Every structure is written in C-alpha cells, then in structure tokens.
Amino acid sequence: MDALPKHKIETDEAKFSNLLFQAPVLIVTFQGPSFIVDTVNKKALETWQKSYEQVINKPLFEVSPEFGLGLKEIFNNIYTTGEPFNANEIQVQLKRKGKPDTAYFNSVYQPLRNLDNEIYGIICTGTEVTESVIARKQIEANEKRFSNILSQSLMAIGILKGTEMTVAFANEPLLKILGKGNDVIGKPILEVIPEIKDQPFSKLLQDVYKTGVAFAADEMKGIMLRNEKLEECYFNLVFQPYRDVDDNITGLTILATEITEYVLAKKQIEKSEEKYRGLFDAIDQGLSIIEMIFDETNKPIDYRFLENNSVFSEQTGLPDIINKTAREAIPALDDFWFETFGKVALTGKSIRFTQKSDPLNRWFDVNAFRLGNQGSNKVGVLFTNITGRKKAELDLMASEELFRVLTHNSPDIITRLDKDGRYLYASPSIKKLDGKNAEEFIGRKYREAGLAEHICQLFDTYIPLVLQEKKSHTIEFTAMSGLEVYSRLVPEFNEKGEAVSVMMIHADITERKQAEEKIKESEAKFRALSETIPTMVWTASPDGKKNFFNQYFLNYTGLSFEELKNDGMLKIIFPDDLKKDSQQWQHSFETGEDFKMEKRLRHHDGTFRWHVSHGIAQKDSNGNITGWIGSNTDISEHKIKEQQKDEFISIASHEMKTPLTSAKGYLELILPLLSEENKTAFLYANKANQAVERLHSLVTELLDVSKIQHGQLNYNISTFDFIDMIDEAIENIQLTAKNHSLEKIGNCLHQIKGDKDRLQQVLSNLLTNAIKFSPNADKVLIKIEELDGKIQVSVQDFGVGMSSQHLYKIFERYYRVQEHAVFFQGLGIGLHISSNIIQRHNGTMWADSEPGKGSTFYFTLPL
C-alpha cells in the first residue's frame, strides 16, 4: 500500500499526515486501555506484516498476541506514570521478500495527552537499526575470536584503552612480565606499574596514542618493580595504535618479549671475564661459549664447546661435551647451526631465532652473540628448550585455522592481500562480487584476477596508502554483479610492527544504498509536494535553525528567506503566543517529541490568522535527530466560526435556562391539580412537562459543554457504591424504554470515589444512545467487569452501528455520524461530555462498532 486510504486524505493536515505515513520511521499510536491502534504508518505496517485494515481500530494484543505481557506491562506503566519508555535493539522476527529475517529496532513509547494533560494513549516511534547492530555484533564476535587467539599466544600481548590507557586485555605472558594478576584489567597502566612513569615507556606509549605511529624496538631497557625491588629489565617491544571502526585511536596494543636474562648475560660476559662464572650458573637458560672453526675461505664448518653451564645439559639433553666439536658431539648436525653462529662471529650482530634440532628432537629458542670485538671467534649461545611451548604454538595455529574457518563462513567477503596486491586468502563469499570462486583469486594479483577496472584503480590507490600510513581506510564501490560494496582495508603487521599485508572486509550494502536512493526520491517528492500544497512548510537543522520555507510560506508572510531564517518567526508570531511557542519548541528540541500548537501568524497584510503548527523531528537509524520538518495550516475561518458558535450557544443556553426552569416548576405545580379533575388536560400537561423536561436537559448539556470549554465544569466528589449508581441509572432509563430490555451482566462490590450524578449522566447517555440507535432491537447489554485494578463498564447494542473512521471523532464536540443525522435527532454533545467526565475521573472511554451489527461503548475507572 502506498498511500493512506482515501477517506483519510481530506484536509491539508491530512495531506501532511500522509507524509508521515510515508516516513522511513515506524509510527503507531494506541488509545484506551486495550491499546486500540489509532494511527499506523507504512513502515510500521511493513514491519508488522499486517495490512492497514487488519490493525486499525483493533486492540493491539488481539491483533498480535505474540507481543505478550512484557509490552502490556510497559504500556500500563506509561498510563499510570506518564514516563516514556525507550527500548533499544529490540529483536523482531520478520519476513522480508518472503524469507524470515531478523531485524532490530530502537523504539520510544510516549504517552499521548489530551488538552487537560491527561494520558489517553501511547505513541510508538521506531527506527530500524539492524545494520548497525549486525555490524557491531560482527565486530564483537571478531574481537572475541581475536582475543581467544591473543590469550593463547606466547608473546606478551596487551590492549590499553582510552587516554587513561586502561588495561583492557592482558594475556598470561604479559601478566607475568608485569608481575601482576588478572585484577589489573580496568586499571590505568600507570596505576598498575607506577614505576614506569618517568621512564621512556610512558612517553612512548603516549606518543603512539597521540601520533598514531607505531613504535618498535629491540632490547629496550626499563626499570620494573620485581619482588619488591626495582630491577633492570629488557624487552623487545612493539606498540601499535588500536583503532575503532571509524579509525579513531581508542587505545594501544602492546606486543612484548622479555629478554632480560639474555641481555644481562651478554652484558656481564662482555664486561668481565672473571665475573661471568658466577652468573654462568645463575642463569636458568642453557649457556654455552663456543669457538667457531672456519676453513681457509672463512666459511664456518664447525664449532667447539668451550664452556657450558649446568643448565645446558638439562636444556639440550647432551652429556658433558666440553672441548668436543659440534660435529663430534652431534653427528647428524644440520649445517644451519654453524652457518648461523659463524655469521654472528663474523658480523658481530646478535641473532635470536627459534629452531628445531632434528637429532636432538627438541625445539630451541636461541640467542647468539659475539664475545669480544671484531676478529673474535667466540660466540655465546643461550638455549632454551621450548618443545612444550612450541607444541602450544602449533595448537595456536590450529586455533588460527578455526579463525579461518569462521571467516570462511562469514557473510562478509574477507580477503588478505600481500603488499604486492597478491591474494593470500579470499573467503568463498567472494563469489558474490563477480561470480568467480575464491580459488581463482588466491595466489593472483588483483589485476590478474579479472576484477573490474574501477575496483582495481581503487585498490591501486588504497592498498599502498593503508600500508604506508599503517591506518585503515574505507572504500565503496559497485561490483560487476551489481552488488553495492562497503570495504574496510585494515593493515596487518609483522612482529617488527611493519605493515606487511592488508585485510579487506567487504560488506554487502546493496539494501542500504537502495534505501538511500529511496530517501533521495522521497526528498524530491517532499520538495515537490511542499511547493504545491497550500500550507506553510519549513524544514530546520537539528538545532532548530530554519533552512527551507516553501513558496506559500514566503507569500503568506511577505518576507524573504533571508528575513525569515534567523529571527523571522519572532516577527510573525502573535506576541501573546510567543512564550508558549518557544517553551514548547524548547521541549521538542530537548526531547525530540512532536510539536503541535495553535497560534496566530501575521499575514503580509498585517492581520493575524490562526494556524495549527506542527513540527516533527526527522531521525536517522540511530534515533539521532537529523532535522525538523513543520507546517502551519490556516484554521482561522474554522476558528472564528467555532468561537462564534461557542459564544452563541453559551449565551443562548444561558438565556433559555431561566424561563425553562420556571416553566418546569409551574408544570410540576399544575400536574397534581389536574390529575383528579380533568384526565385530558392532565394528559396534555404531562406531555408538555415531558417536552420541557427534555428541552431542559438539552440546555443543561449545552451549558455543560461551554463549561467544559472554559474548564468550569464542577464535580461533587463523594464515596458511593458503584453498583447502586449503575442500577439506578438502568432503572431510570428502563422506565421510558418501551421496546428494549436492559440486561445487566456482572457485578462490582467496590465503593468508588467520584461524582455520582456525573457518572450516572454518562451511563444514562450511553443507554439512551444504545436504545436510540437500535430501533429494531429488543435488548441492550450492560456488562460490569473488574480488570487489572480497574472497573470496566460496557454498553452493547444491536443497532445500526457505524464504520471505524468515526470511532474517535464521535467524542468530539458536535460530531455526528453523517448517515445517522437523517434518521436520528441529536446535537452530538452527549459523548463529548461523557468522555470528559470519565477523563476527569482518570478513566478512559472508547467504542467498538460494526455497521449494521451494533456498537459497544466502554469506559473504565480506576478502583
């Protein structure tokens, strides 16, 4: 359905409400205690998967029992407290394009109030936030996988967040370095290790946070508190900025390996030959001093073990091999070992590596450094047996495999490219791009993989940029398949902190694009419509600054856009209405609630005319206000007529009341005198009395209406038996009802507080209507029930009924259903007075009806 049913589009205001109907925001309003759907827009119907006819004027929980108790409680709470209710990221199961789909909504439920500020219903507005929720969930899931992998790593890894650099994550090795337990999470790093405050570390961390440039260093020195003593420690470190989805730096990652023992050993040995003995055995790593053996061409061919510490045998599993050469001690030795140590001796450059020794069947973490200056062929070697750890590392790779399996099944297309633009990985979903399988990408450069030229050009620009800036970038493109793609290019680093590859996450945003197109279209439609409707229309930015007035607006005020845009409204609003106008706007700006007010606006000829102003906040999918749209509809003629009519009725009924009261008094005096004497005269006088009686009650009703208008209807409050009041009313009406029997069902044993006469007036009015509008029926049912701390009374007839579009209007002043007016007399004020009385008793009143079948009128009162 693309428009409201025709009967709804009758007035200018309704045209405007048609705009609302099309709005990309979900809007529904409910009325009464059974939450009857009063208005509903297109987006709401789509979400609800119901047709307009299925929901309008129906009680919400009858239409959709699945919304259940939770919502009912919320609604009832709004009725009693008047507090709005926000529900974020509510999950809704929908069918879209015939397929089940999960959607998320942010919705706001707010009370609707009548002019007496009493709540009579609820407005629900909702914005779909599915995309952002799903995106966030994916990121959360990714972060979880990621942190799983991190926590298993051998390298110390930590994440610091915020300017305070609070520890958000620290794996076991990092906690070990810090010498702390898990309770460091959530604490600022300087609180955890205050000793680094004046050390280069803390400045480096801050620099990386500020500049976004990663930092990497080997053998970085620091003083750390260890066993309650400040100790010299050494680390290989990488600090990397940690960025959020929008590429803002929100923290840091720390990668660290502690190498204190190795550095100290190296230093000590270098420093003093004598002292090193003691140190030698204090180290819990295998330490060996070896002498390289070179051939004539200076090629290393073997080495000799000069000295080994006690841990050496433990770590290597080798027996005492002092003075033996490596080839003698380990016959199947790989050339790798002496080639590597040879390099250390020749260049003087320390080397650290991890290597398996096949003959020993062990994995070693090895640090090798030259002892002495150029020309020395002595090398110190630290061995740590890491066979156990290595196994853990292999397990880690298995978990990376798991990660791969997961990315494999992600609906997003995930790829990794090395710095030459060669695909290292592509998830199978890449097929969505142009129909080619992942296998056709992996191992190829993107230009060779047959991607469209415009995509290649984007990659040409952005891949080098991402690697160079070490910073994520976002691109959007249309794939050959027509898919609209949103891609995030994320740099990947090696352990030195160099960006070596790029991960690309391509998300399908076709639907979002289409929605944007639709918004553009509806924007154009809005402009076209706003220029043609004979109503003043404006739009404003979120802070209320006006940025558009339609031609009609300019014509009416005789002012230019420039004159209007700043304080123009001050010039045209009637001074008496200014205060309320600015108060209400203030409220709307703060809350995002609709603005509605009647006020006088200056015409260019200098006269002021009454307008109804309407302002509505435009919101994005996160519920943020993106602007305002409003209209002023001229209601001056209507207003003048209404005022004249009210005035006339008020004066006329006042004038009539006195002579009528005295006529009634005299007739009552005459009647007993006539009853004996003259039967015919008595009969006539009786008829006259009845007519006067009726006229009297009409005039009283009219006076009631004008009192309601001026807020002067008085109430005599007392406590009384509710059921007595009902019984009396029924009895009274039954006396004059010849063809109908009034049948009461249910009971109420409570006393209630209120104006008994006024409430009786309500019931009498409903009963009279029920009888009047069901001339061919023979009964009227009155049902009394207790529901959720309230008493509910319904009056059901089996008469002419009415169609649903009248159901709310009948409570308005002077409103009568057109088709009825021909056959039934009335002024259209009984229900107006009744509903006012009920509202003043904090109750609600509503009706249900079907043409030709009959109507039921309900009211509830709090117990």
Q: Determine which helix (DSSP H) or strand (DSSP E) holds 524, and give its type and residue range.
A: helix 510-532
Site membership for ligand ADP, residue 816 (CB under 6 A): yes
Q: Does 802 bind ligand ADP (CB under 6 A)?
A: yes
Assess 836 for contact with ligand ADP (CB under 6 A). Answer: no
Distance in angstroms (rounded) separating the CA atoms of residues 166 and 163: 8
Instruction: Enumerate the H helices of 102-231 as residue ranges.
Output: 130-152, 172-178, 189-192, 200-211
CA atoms of 427 and 421, how far apart (whole Å)? 16
What the block records as the tokens of 441 is 């990408």
800 binding ligand ADP? (CB under 6 A): yes
Nearer to ligand ADP, 210 or 809 (CB): 809
- We find the least distance from the C-beta atom of residue 857 to ligand ADP, in angstroms, to be 7
**What does DSSP assign to residue 322?**
T
Look-up: residue for tokens 């709470």?
77
Q: Tell me the closest approach of the beta carbon of residue 798 to ligand ADP, in angstroms.
A: 10
Q: Binding to ligand ADP by residue 828, rule CB under 6 A? A: yes
| Of 773, 798, 808, 846, the one binding ligand ADP by CB under 6 A | 773
DSSP, residue by residue, 165-187: TEEEEE-HHHHHHHT--GGGTTS
Number of other CB atoms surrounding residue 545 within 10 Å: 11
- Give the whole-angstrom CA distance, residue 147 versus residue 153: 10
Residues comprising the chain, all counted: 863
Mask: binding to ligand ADP, 780-799, rule CB under 6 A, as x and -? -----------------x-x
The residue (of 29 and 856) whose beta carbon lies closer to ligand ADP is: 856
Least separation in angstroms between residue 780's CB and ligand ADP is: 9
Q: Does 829 bind ligand ADP (CB under 6 A)?
A: yes
Q: Which is nearer to ligand ADP, 726 or 780 (CB)?
A: 780
Residue nearest to ligand ADP (CB): 826
Is residue 699 part of the contact set for ligand ADP (CB under 6 A)? no
Position among 240, 769, 794, 839 found at the interface with ligand ADP (CB under 6 A): 769
Q: Which is nearer to ligand ADP, 582 or 709 (CB)?
A: 709
CA distance 128 to 64: 20
Segment contacting ligand ADP (CB under 6 A): 38-46, 267-275, 523-531, 816-824?
Answer: 816-824
Does 770 help bind ligand ADP (rule: CB under 6 A)? yes
CA-atom Rg of the chain in angstroms: 43
Binding-residue total with ligand ADP (CB under 6 A): 21
Helix (H) or strand (E) holding 252: strand 249-258
Binding mask 710-749 for ligand ADP (x = CB under 6 A): ----------------------------------------
Residues 395-434 touching ligand ADP, rule: CB under 6 A, are none
Reported as type and span, the H/E element at residue 293 is strand 286-294
Least spacing, CB of residue 646 vs ligand ADP, in Å: 16
CB of 854 to ligand ADP, least distance (A): 7
Q: Which stretch binds ligand ADP (CB under 6 A): 118-126, 187-195, 411-419, 824-832?
A: 824-832
The reply to whether 855 sits near ligand ADP by the rule CB under 6 A is yes
Binding flag, residue 530, ligand ADP (CB under 6 A): no
Residues 441, 415 contacting (CB under 8 angstroms): yes
827 binds ligand ADP (CB under 6 A): yes
Angle at CA 400, nearest 5°, toward 362 and 431? 140
Tell me which stretch binds ligand ADP (CB under 6 A): 38-46, 105-113, 768-776, 837-845: 768-776
Contact between 801 and ligand ADP per CB under 6 A? yes
User: Considering beta carbons, is residue 329 or 847 the nearer one to ligand ADP?
Assistant: 847
* 622 and 129 Cβ atoms separated by less than 8 Å: yes
- The amino acid at residue 851 is P
Q: Is 763 in the site for ligand ADP (CB under 6 A)?
A: no
Angle at 632 between CA 630 and CA 633, to 5 degrees: 130
Amino acid identity for residue 568 in this structure: G
Residue 793 C-beta: closest distance to ligand ADP, Å: 14
Residue 705 touching ligand ADP (CB under 6 A):
no
Residue closer to ligand ADP by CB (options 619, 806) is 806
Q: Which residue's CB is nearer to ligand ADP, number 155 or number 656?
A: 656
| Burial class of residue 853, CB neighbours in 10 A (0-12, 13-18, 19+) | exposed
Q: Does 846 bind ligand ADP (CB under 6 A)?
A: no
Nearest Cα to 244, choosing from 130, 128, 143, 131? 143
Q: Which is nearer to ligand ADP, 682 or 815 (CB)?
A: 815
Q: How far is the CB of 759 from ligand ADP (least distance, A)?
A: 16
List the beta bridge partners of residue 104: 91
Q: Is 222 in the site for ligand ADP (CB under 6 A)?
A: no
Between helix 510-532 and helix 12-22 the angle, nearest 10°, is 170
Crossing angle (nearest 10°) for helices 830-840 and 756-772 = 140
Neighbours of 236 (CB within 10 A): 19
Task: Kindly indicate which of the ranges 325-333, 341-349, 659-667, 821-829 contains the residues binding ligand ADP, using the contact rule CB under 6 A.
Answer: 821-829
Nearest CA to 738 out of 780, 685, 696 is that of 780
At 629, list the tokens.
Answer: 């749209």
What is the closest distance, in whole angstroms, from the C-beta atom of residue 483 to ligand ADP in the complex?
57
Burial grade of 772 (CB within 10 A; 0-12, 13-18, 19 or more): middle
Position among 617, 810, 837, 861 found at the interface with ligand ADP (CB under 6 A)? 810
H-run or E-run covering 340: helix 335-347
Which residues in this chain contact ligand ADP in the complex, by CB under 6 A? 765, 769-770, 773, 797, 799-802, 810, 816-817, 820, 826-832, 855
